[in-house]
Amino acid sequence: MDALFLSRIQFAVTTLFHILFPVLTIGLSFYLVVIEFLWLKTRQELYYRIYRFWARIFAINFGVGVVSGVVLEFEFGTNFSQFSQMVANVFSPLLAFEVMTAFFLEAGFLGIMLFGWQRVSKGIHFLATCLVALGSILSAFWILAANSWMHTPAGYELVNGKFMVRDFMAAIFNPSTLTRVGHMVMASFETSSFVVAGISAYYLLKGKYVDFARRSLGIALVMAGFFAPLQIFLGDRSGIGVFHHQPAKLAAMEAHWETNTAGGAPFAIIAIPSSKEEKNLFEISIPNGLSLLVTHTLNGRVQGLKEFPREDRPSVFALFWSFRVMVAVGFILLLVMAWAVLLWRQGKLYHHRLFLSTLLIVHPLGFLATEFGWVTTEVGRQPWIVYNLVRTAEGVSPIPAGNVLWSLGLFLIILPVVGAVYFFYVLKTLQGGPDLSSPIPPVQRPIGMESLAQAKRRTGEE
């Protein structure tokens, strides 16, 4: 085990841990913007309660996201210093802009959003919520622009092994930036909508906080109804981008070995690819499927993996399956939404126990898809750290393996502990349920508003 291998594992471990949290931060912050807007517009107390409840989940999630994210910004230097020195002129401004425009914005207004209820006006509070959401999306934009540049480098000139800037706009908006930003932000929206929906469904199944849960669920499902199909569309755009810019990666994702000369390339639904024998030991496929998918024609030519030298190929097995897990989740969530639309038209959405149970079961799947999506895209970039230009092995820091073994060992202890405690406290918060009774801050309360508790007493319901 050398420093390169260990550094790659460490970057993978810390990234896969970190990304779970921004996914929910981005999506929930957007959900909270919608909820606070509804609260200010309708003045229905329920919206205020929904906001406060989900903001608690948001806060604990944000905290873990921040501390695990700082790690990544450091690892470029500690573990991949040669990469950093080679690409800095083009790459590092994107990270600097992320801090300037996104991190400061989120951090600056998070305090007001969480703790400022008594201290600022309604408008300022809503503005804070919006700016935190904007910050989270800007952060996704910059970090994905940087990551996309590693996949589809542009706007540079190579001088003595160093990247020099030619055109910053071309580097920022490199060929894959916009599709990948869209795909990731949509993943966050979709995942978060299903998290809110699944937890609300749980309350409905238990018969607890029924009004609260119905409203939370309704809004989440409306959002998920847009996001689920849109995500499949964006995923398709991403796939076509990979086909054009990273053909070896696409061939590996699809376990497509031979370039199709006569007729279309088949799409393997399942396969057992073998890198050693350069073929699939077993496969079930749809004829012409792959050609149709990436070229949108029946017989379009798709380069096979054998056209690329062995040392330039990523791991086929890992790519093929991680990609399929991600796609499968996308379609499962789409089907659940189709079912939701059907039930909604029949007016049975909130009572159908099987549907609510299904929501509860599928609600964490978005996280799974996000993890496997990142495995697909990053394993697919190998063996390059800057696609087709710099090998990952050339980017690693000149440090002994012992350093990385030590830090990786500690990360493998600390991150699971932090993750487990996070999970435990989130479950505890969910068990405790929303706070439906504590007084609304005076600045937020409309004059003469009847509280939920008073309304209950008046109507005499339980």
Nearest approach, Cβ of residue 116 and another protein (Å): 6
Which helix (H) or strand (E) segment holds residue 243: the answer is: helix 210-245
Q: Per-residue x/- marks for another protein, 432-451, CB under 8 A? A: ---x--x-------------
Q: Looking at 198-206, 215-223, 268-276, 418-426, which segment touches another protein (CB under 8 A)?
A: 418-426
Do β-strands 390-391 and 384-386 pair in parallel, antiparallel, or remain unpaired?
antiparallel
Could you tell me the smallest distance in angstroms from the CB atom of residue 189 to another protein? 23
> 445: which DSSP letter?
S
CB of 330 to another protein, least distance (A): 31
The interface with another protein within residues 141-170 (CB under 8 A) comprises: 164-165, 168
Q: Which of 1, 2, 4, 3 is nearest to 391 (CA)?
A: 4
Q: C-alpha angle 383/387/391, rounded to 5°?
A: 40
Q: Is the distance from CB of 14 to CB of 411 less than 8 angstroms? A: yes
Question: Cα 163 to chain center, whole Å?
Answer: 29
SS3 163: strand
Least Å from the CB of residue 75 to another protein:
9
| One residue of 23, 32, 71, 375 binding another protein per CB under 8 A | 71
Looking at 1, 42, 99, 420, which residue binds another protein (CB under 8 A)? 99
Binding of residue 104 to another protein (CB under 8 A)? yes
Residue of 9, 40, 120, 222 that binds another protein (CB under 8 A):
120
68 sits near another protein (criterion: CB under 8 A): yes
Angle at 312 between CA 232 and CA 310, to 5 degrees: 115
For position 422 contacting another protein by CB under 8 A, the verdict is yes
Q: Is 85 in the site for another protein (CB under 8 A)?
A: yes
Q: Is 97 in the site for another protein (CB under 8 A)?
A: yes
Of positions 90, 186, 248, 316, contacts another protein by CB under 8 A: 90
| x-or-dash string of contact with another protein, 382-401, rule CB under 8 A | ---------------xxxx-
Number of residues that bind another protein (CB under 8 A): 69
Nearest to 76 by CA among 63, 85, 89, 66: 85
Q: How far is CA 441 from CA 52, 111, 112, 438, in A?
A: 12, 16, 14, 9
- Identity of residue 238: S
Among 414, 420, 443, 453, contact with another protein (rule: CB under 8 A): 414
Q: What angle do CA 247, 251, 253 make, to 5 degrees?
A: 115
Q: How far is the CB of 382 from another protein (least distance, A)?
A: 22
425 lies in the binding site for another protein (CB under 8 A): yes
With b for 16 or more beta-carbon neighbours within 10 A and e for fewer, the 9-18 pattern comes to bbbeebbbbb
CB atoms inside a 10 Å sphere around CB 440: 16
In order of 14, 104, 239, 274, the CA distances from 280 in angstroms are 32, 49, 21, 6
Per CB under 8 A, residues contacting another protein are 56, 59-60, 63-64, 66-68, 70-71, 73-74, 76-79, 81-82, 84-85, 88-90, 92-93, 95-101, 103-112, 114-116, 118-120, 164-165, 168, 397-400, 402-403, 406-407, 410, 414, 418, 421-422, 425, 428-429, 435, 438
